[in-house]
Amino acid sequence: MDKDSVNEIIACLPQGKTRFDYFKDRYALILLSHLLEHEIKVADLKRSAYARLLERPVVKKTLATASTGWLNRYLFNMVWDKPTYTFLLTLSTWGGYQRTWQQTSRPGYNLVLQLNFSNQHEQPYRQLLKPTTESMFKCNGHPIMKRGQRNFFRETLAWARIDLDFKDDEALIEEIQSDWIRESQEKLREVLTSNDNEPLEIFIDGMEGDSQHLKKYFNEILKPYTQLWDEAMLTATLHFIHDELGIHNIFYHSYETGCAIKKCQPPRSLYTQLPRQFCFHPTLEAPQFLQRITKFRQAMKKIDHPFWYKLDLTKKELYHAH
């Protein structure tokens, strides 16, 4: 996208921070609520491409209440589970540099959705690790929230980069990533090989807690975020694209196309297991707005059997079969 288009999108959306709550497997409930435009039989849904969503424990509990054998979106909208983790969503931009460096599929800019920690994490994090400067669990060269950009500040757990075209009714999730998880795990590995109670400053500049505090932080505070950050990030992104942007055809890079664009090897699971978990299906067709770019077509010719993942939220596929 061009910069004006990205800025216009941001200007049209709610400003400030948006609360987003997540519990394990909530993605299945949200996807089902998006997909079920009308009532549908449980048996028909079990025969659809979205049957795997029904296997999640929180969905199974919900199905047990559907005594009529019919499902609707309101049934899934009412479900809540614990433990619940609260995040703050903010928007930003990414781009303006050489395409190969900024790792975009086409020249221009991406819209960035940031998944930021709330005080649920912030307070114990500061109490245990006592940071005195900017956290070392992030990369300031990445599209994270930075101090002074808004009238509040929270550390960014993860973000998603999005390219889109309203005319085509298509969006591409370029990547999801978490510096916080990756960098903190590296620091933990260093600490685990150290003597107990060594000052954290030996490993991390600007933190006054000791190594025991860091271990406690990882084992008690950060552990659940480590286990669900990718789920939460992708769920927030899909919900944002569908509800706020009104786009129904959502693409996601395969591992092969992701490597070609990023010029590096991202975590394979983020481009294989995760999209399949969310019922994306493989497709040989790239987003239409990319197919019109000559350099993109040339880059794809260098890949053996390139494919993408696609999630169709138009409901046509679900109801056409029944």
Choose between 44 and 196: higher pLDDT.
44
Confidence category of residue 88, pLDDT binned at 50, 70, 90 = very high
pLDDT (0 to 100) of residue 200: 61
Q: What is the 3-state secondary structure (H, E, C) of the chain?
A: CCHHHHHHHHHHCCCCCEEEEECCCHHHHHHHHHHCCCCEEHHHHHCCCCHHHHHCHHHHHHHCCCCCCEECHHHHHCCCCCCCEEEEEEEEEEECCCHHHHCCCCCCEEEEEEEEECHHHHHHHHHHHCECCCCCCCCCCCCCCCCCCCCCCCCEEEEEEEEEECCCCEEEEEEEECHHHHHHHHHHHHHHCCCCCCEHHHCCCCECCEHHHHHHHHHHHHHHHHHHHHHHHHHHHHHHHHHHCCCCEEEEECHHHHHHHHCCCCCHHHHCHHHHHCCCEEECCCCHHHHCCHHHHHHHHCCCCCCEEEEECCCHHHHHCC
Low-confidence winner among 63-67, 82-86, 262-266, 294-298 (lowest mean pLDDT): 262-266
Most confident of 42-51, 209-218, 223-232, 308-317: 223-232
Longest dimension (CA), the chain: 64
**pLDDT > 70 fraction of the chain, expressed in percent and rounded:** 91
| Mean pLDDT, residues 37-46 | 89
Reading the block at residue 125, the tokens are: 């994090």
Q: What is the pLDDT of residue 202?
A: 59
Which pLDDT does position 267 carry in this prediction?
83
pTM: 0.93
Q: Which residue has the higher pLDDT, 265 or 74?
A: 74
What mean pLDDT is predicted for residues 4-32?
92
C-alpha 8: how far from its chain's center?
22
pLDDT band at 18 (very low <50, low <70, confident <90, very high): very high
Q: Would the pLDDT of 319 be above 60?
A: no
pLDDT digits (tens, 9 = 90+) for 144-168: 998 888 888 999 999 999 999 999 9
Ordered by start, the domain boundaries in the chain are: 3-23+83-320, 24-81
74 or 213, which is more confident: 74
Judged against a pLDDT cut of 60, whether residue 171 lies above it is answered with yes
Residue 320 has pLDDT above 60, yes or no: no
| Residue 121 predicted with pLDDT over 80 | yes
- 321: pLDDT strictly greater than 80: no
Query: Which residues have CB under 8 Å from 302's CB, separation 6+?
Result: 260
302 pLDDT above the threshold of 90:
no
Residue 322 has pLDDT above 60, yes or no: no
pLDDT above 70: residue 229:
yes
pLDDT tens for each residue of 252-300: 999 988 887 777 777 889 999 999 999 999 999 999 999 999 988 888 8
Distance CA 192, CA 286 (A): 44
Tell me the pLDDT band of 189, cut-offs 50, 70 and 90: confident
